[in-house]
Structure 1
Amino acid sequence: MPFVTPNLTELNEQVIQDIVNAGIPGIETTLKNSVIGTIGQVQAGLSWQHYFYLNYISRQAVPWTATDEYLAGWGNLKNVFQKAPSKATATVQFNTIDGITIPKGTIIKRPDGWSYVTVADSVNGQALVESVDTGINGNVGQGVTLSLGNPLAGVDSKVIAITPITGGAELEDEEAYRQRVIEAYRISGSVGREQEYILWAKSVSQVSRAWIGRNGFGIGTVIVWIMCDQANTSTNGFPVGSDGSATDEYRYNPATGDQLAVANYIWKKQPVTALVIVCSPIAQPVNFVISDLGVNNTAANQDVIKAALTDMFRREAAPGTALYPSSWERAIGSITNISQYHIASPTEAVIPPSKGHLPILGEVTFST
């Protein structure tokens, strides 16, 4: 049975009653502003602070409720660390006169003003750049046209990103970090279990979801599908880059972009014999027709329905896994301010699984 912590009002009343019951001659009650009453209120306040502190200590005693540095401490015991904010990176192409060196620290800008900087000198026109600031706003697709922040002799002002600009992420939310810490405590055993590959993939800054496919490209191969829901909103969360393996993996073509970041991270932790291939799932849109909303057929309610279905797909969909009508019935049925509705489509008894395909929300049509 849980211990019930008394609140400040209850402690005040308890102290007053204790004073009255103490049998001190001449004290049969306490007045609000009397000396003995004031001392009692101070005592109650001190007791409440003690209870509050003990409650705080108890919450730090397990990773399920720990916060701040205590949660970080629990995570450190399992080598799970809060993902720091990161900068987006890419390889860009400068159009230069032969022999011109692009110096380290050269600023280039996107049309919206977001800035990147070269991280090393370049003599062949290609240079690695990183975002000046951290965060998901630094991410953008391959082929975007950039421009020099300041003119350079012998260098065209236009700069082309020849790889996707990826890897930018915000500081990991504490609740998301807590879930990864708890997941690390739930799994145990030798290195190489499915849950460990998932945990490794989700340790990369921009990755929000991950799944594993055993022997997907033959015996000894491990497919890791990833999604970057917060980092890549412009692609509906799908990773930006090409599928492949780690840079040092000689048995397969190296990945690029988000996939390469995950492959290189897993490379340092995986069993030495495994061939790990990091992939983007293939989008499998599922269209909906919602009817019979009646008076509930408003723009606000339509947005709520779309949000509920989007959330359902993010929680329950996985590459190659079937989805059933009960999933979207629960999603819409949980919306309290919608009293009636009918899901006219899809009518299938199941969204069939397809290897490597991830069901996502497609078009939602509302009919009267």
Structure 2
Amino acid sequence: MSFKIPILSELNEQTQQDIINAGIPGIDITLKNSVIGTLGSVQAGISWQHYEFLDYIAKQAVPWTATDEYLAGWGELKNTNQKAPTKATATVQFSTLDGIIIPKGTIIKRPDGWSYVTLADSINNQALIQSVDSGSKGNAGQGINLTLGNALAGVDAKVTALTSITGGADLEEQEAYRQRVIEAYRISGSVGREQEYILWAKSVSQVSRAWIGRNGFGIGTVIIWIMCDDANISNNGFPVGTDGSATKEYRYNIASGDQLAVANYIWQKQPVTALIIVCSPIAMPVDFVVTDLGVSNTIENQNTIKAALIDMFHREAVPGSQLHPSSWERAIGSVSSVAHYNIVSPTQAIIPLSKGHLPILGKVTFKS
């Protein structure tokens, strides 16, 4: 049974009663503004602070209730650190007069005022830009309007993003970090189990989900499929880069982008004999037709249903595995504002997918 910490008013009542019970001559009651009554209230307050401090210490004594630097300390014991925020990047195209080079450090602006900076001098009027500030707010789609922060002679103010601006991630929320720390303690005592590869992959800032494929390219190979749901929203959460292995891995092609970040992180932690290949899943859109909504066929309800289906795919979809109709029935059924509905399509479980194919939400058609 858990210990109940008395509240301040209870401690004050107890202290006042203890003063009366002490048998001090002439004191059979404590008045609110009396000296002895005030001293009792002060003592109650000090006791309450002690209780609260002891409760705080107890919470920091185990990783599942620890907070802030104490949680970080528990994580450090298992080489599991809170994911730092990252900056979004993209390749952009400039329009210039012949021979003009856009210098490194040129500021690029988004319509909302968010700033990017070129990381090197332009080559063939192209350059890599990076968000000035960290965080997911730096991410944007390929069609975003960009302009020069300051005018440059012979350079058009309009800047074209040749790729989506991706890779920006916020500081990992403490509860998400706590779950990774707890997972690290649960799987301790071995090196090379599936859970460890997943934990390593999800330790990279932009990675939100990961799965393992044993011997995917032959004996001794380990495939790690990753998703970057928050960092790469404009790419439907799929990693931006090419599949492959770590920079120091000589037995396979070197990856790039998000895949390389994961491969290089795992390189120092993996068993020495394993050949790790980090891959992006192949999108397998699943279209839905939802009918018989009646008066519930509103834009708000449609968006809520889509959000519920997206959440279902995030939680339950696995590369190469099928989903059961009960999954999307539960997802749509959880929308309390929809009184009745009928899922016309898909009519059955998804056919088992080929290796590496990940089912995602496709087009959703609604009918009253």
1:73 maps to 73
Residue 118 of structure 2 contacts residue 128 of structure 2 at CA under 8 Å; is this kept in 1? yes
Change in 2 beyond 3 A, CA 1:337/1:55: farther
2:57 maps to 57
1:282 maps to 282
Percent identity of equivalent pairs: 77
2:243 maps to 243
Aligned pairs (5 A) from 1:88-99? 88-90=88-90
More divergent stretch after superposition (92-101 vs 300-309): 92-101
1:199 maps to 199
Change in 2 beyond 3 A, CA 1:220/1:54: same
Distance 2:42 2:319 in 1: 61
2:221 maps to 221
Aligned pairs (5 A) from 1:1-368? 1-90=1-90, 103-109=103-109, 114-120=114-120, 128-140=128-140, 148-150=148-150, 165-291=165-291, 298-335=298-335, 340-349=340-349, 352-368=352-368
Distance 1:9 1:345 in 2: 61
Aligned length: 368
Distance 2:44 2:353 in 1: 62
Once the two structures are TM-superposed, the CA of residue 59 in structure 1 deviates from its matched residue by 0.9
Once the two structures are TM-superposed, the CA of residue 56 in structure 1 deviates from its matched residue by 0.9
More divergent stretch after superposition (247-256 vs 294-303): 294-303
User: How big is the alpha-carbon RMSD for the aligned residues of Structure 1 and Structure 2?
Assistant: 3.4
Change in 2 beyond 3 A, CA 1:64/1:255: same
Distance 2:94 2:299 in 1: 47
Distance 1:108 1:303 in 2: 34
Once the two structures are TM-superposed, the CA of residue 338 in structure 1 deviates from its matched residue by 5.2
Once the two structures are TM-superposed, the CA of residue 71 in structure 1 deviates from its matched residue by 0.8
Once the two structures are TM-superposed, the CA of residue 57 in structure 1 deviates from its matched residue by 0.9
Q: So what's the TM-score if we normalise by structure 1?
A: 0.83
Change in 2 beyond 3 A, CA 1:250/1:96: farther
Once the two structures are TM-superposed, the CA of residue 58 in structure 1 deviates from its matched residue by 0.9
List runs of 5+ in structure 2 lacking aligned partners: none
Residue 259 of structure 1 contacts residue 280 of structure 1 at CA under 8 Å; is this kept in 2? yes
More divergent stretch after superposition (353-362 vs 56-65): 353-362
Change in 2 beyond 3 A, CA 1:338/1:188: same
Change in 2 beyond 3 A, CA 1:134/1:13: same
- Encode CA deviations 1:28-58: one digit per residue, 9 max, x unaligned: 4444334333333322222221111111111
Residue 148 of structure 1 contacts residue 157 of structure 1 at CA under 8 Å; is this kept in 2? yes
More divergent stretch after superposition (89-98 vs 277-286): 89-98
- Encode CA deviations 1:120-177: one digit per residue, 9 max, x unaligned: 5577766554322222233356798866545667877776666664432221111121
Residue 168 of structure 1 contacts residue 206 of structure 1 at CA under 8 Å; is this kept in 2? yes
- One-letter amino acid matched to 2:272: V
Distance 2:367 2:94 in 1: 52
Secondary structure (helix, strand or coil) at the match of 1:207 reads coil
Distance 1:142 1:298 in 2: 30
Residue 163 of structure 1 contacts residue 257 of structure 1 at CA under 8 Å; is this kept in 2? no
Residue 109 of structure 2 contacts residue 149 of structure 2 at CA under 8 Å; is this kept in 1? yes
